[in-house]
Structure 1
């Protein structure tokens, strides 16, 4: 499905349901996609951070993306994460994603070894030249240990290399400066800026962001759709109220005790425990080596779902 120019709205980064044996759970994934579409999302993003792409094998990635494309069946665009350490590896994922029917690609800067902004720009140009699909940059310094400079993003937007940005930097000030720079060159009409910070969506939309890629949207896609619609209609008090409800629900990502598990395991385990409790997926398993949520943490997730009006 052609990607809107610019892409806007709610684009959830889908969790990848797994069986207890660690295989991609195709039935649960299809049910998860259907629930997202029923909530009114504008696109879906497979194989992002919430999709555990860093922990899946190449074969699992392909299986999850193929199943997502099949389940969506052309109703909204499918963005495919092609996240990896080097340009060569990203190119392999990008070609595979194109062959599986993805509508757009999402890539971080190279990581593990640091890259200069000029090298990062060259990386994105190589990917875009190799695969004729819209390419969206993913700025997530917490994972790749470098931030995409605004000057580089504006340059790549201007020459058509990039179709947009998913900003998960958490730096709302930098996001606003980028939006100003894009507007100054008229690029805001073609280059999508999507916030990945689900706690400040109303502020990002007020600043001019085109949409949101909310991990918590796995759990409550309808809430983010309502938030986006309120913001676009200028109903800022209603948008803020919906944002506040989602902020309270976001506490589920902290259900796991830091003494017993990583932050990533707590976040992903919280999303999957919620989806299991809601009856969307059959199993809340996460990919190795992430530890599962203990029973008391799952109880806390259930309480938050009840308080949010979801259970």
Structure 2
């Protein structure tokens, strides 16, 4: 796993707690978009260029097959192609986490074994979904995934999609036992995330000390780092990875004024997710379509298609994305 930046910015006197330690994931870990061909196959050359775009900007890891990677829409063969492509192209330069999101434990374990077999450095799993699950069942689900694969398991707290908020006490317990290596917190519950940070520090054991809390709330990254999280998983990081790398480094060095300014610039750029007209498409189509449209306009990917049944951006909506990119200085 990647180490935290070294030098004066990483000294013990910085306002951000030290994030080093064996196996701990830190920094900027974008959830990689999945470029498609017009025939809806995985566009391997575009995916490789996107990886170069991200790694070249200085990101600390890659999370493939997350929500931004449209994992819920992709057939298994597409998933495997994405994993194999990214792992091979990265060639160990940064860690690669593979999303293994699916409805039930046995299906997730199958995805997790595939991810481990192709060389992912870790896997990311939500709670089970479709049917409602009890917290005891969620914990058993995560334990069984960990027992089934030889790589670290990261929990994905995504209650808006899986209808199950991960319990903080459970996360602390699984962290302390070494069952989980970290959590991507996309719950929007900043109070709960802060309580988890405090509990992990108070636990003082080796498992908790290696546990990574990664915020998925890309518009409040400076605040999250100030409360002590170890990393960020920003969908907008596909479009402007260098911006999130600058933001992380400002936070790590305790340059909070510069961090705030960068965060507010990224917040304005995030307006691209509203490019799609709500009368004709959902929020997901608009957001994922805007990221892919931006990458297409930037020359990173060949085609901005999203997976059916999502709605594609039209010419006027594409123009809105272009305006945001120009205003942010990216075009």
Q: TM-score, normalised by structure 1?
A: 0.98
Kept after mapping to 2: 8 A contact 1:2/1:103: no
Kept after mapping to 2: 8 A contact 1:135/1:164: yes
Which residue matches 1:284? 304
Q: Which of residues 237, 241, 244 is equivalent to 2:264? A: 244
SS at match of 1:270: helix
Instruction: Tell me, in whole angstroms, the C-alpha distance in 2 between the residues paired with 1:211 and 1:186.
Output: 20
Which residue matches 1:72? 90
Instruction: Tell me, in whole angstroms, the C-alpha distance in 1 between the residues paired with 2:109 and 2:39.
Output: 29
- Report whether the alignment pairs 1:153 with 2:153: no
Q: Which of residues 256, 269, 274 is equivalent to 1:254? A: 274
SS at match of 1:41: coil
Which residue matches 1:105? 123
Instruction: Give ranges in structure 2 of 5+ residues lacking alignment.
Output: 4-21
Instruction: Tell me, in whole angstroms, the C-alpha distance in 1 between the residues paired with 2:301 and 2:33.
Output: 10
Number of aligned residue pairs: 311
Which residue matches 1:217? 237
- Report whether the alignment pairs 1:16 with 2:27: no
Which residue matches 1:300? 320
Q: Structure 1, residues 128-168: CA drift from partner, whole Å, max 9, x if none?
A: 00101000000011110110010110011011100000000
Which residue matches 1:226? 246
Could you tell me how far 1:2 is from its partner in structure 2?
A: 7.7
Instruction: Tell me, in whole angstroms, the C-alpha distance in 1 between the residues paired with 2:37 and 2:310.
Output: 14
1:169-248 to structure 2, matched below 5 A, reads 169-186=187-204, 188-248=208-268
Which residue matches 1:117? 135
Q: Which of residues 45, 52, 71 is equivalent to 1:34? A: 52
Which residue matches 2:15? none
Deviating 4+ runs (over 3 angstroms): 1-4
Residues 186 and 250 of structure 1, relative CA distance in 2, 3 Å threshold:
same
Kept after mapping to 2: 8 A contact 1:39/1:225: yes
Provide the alpha-carbon RMSD of the alignment. 1.1
SS at match of 1:102: coil
Instruction: Tell me, in whole angstroms, the C-alpha distance in 1 between the residues paired with 2:119 and 2:230.
Output: 24
Instruction: Tell me, in whole angstroms, the C-alpha distance in 2 between the residues paired with 1:186 and 1:40.
Output: 31
Kept after mapping to 1: 8 A contact 2:29/2:231: yes
Kept after mapping to 1: 8 A contact 2:2/2:26: no
SS at match of 1:296: helix
SS at match of 2:140: helix
Could you tell me how far 1:115 is from its partner in structure 2?
A: 1.2
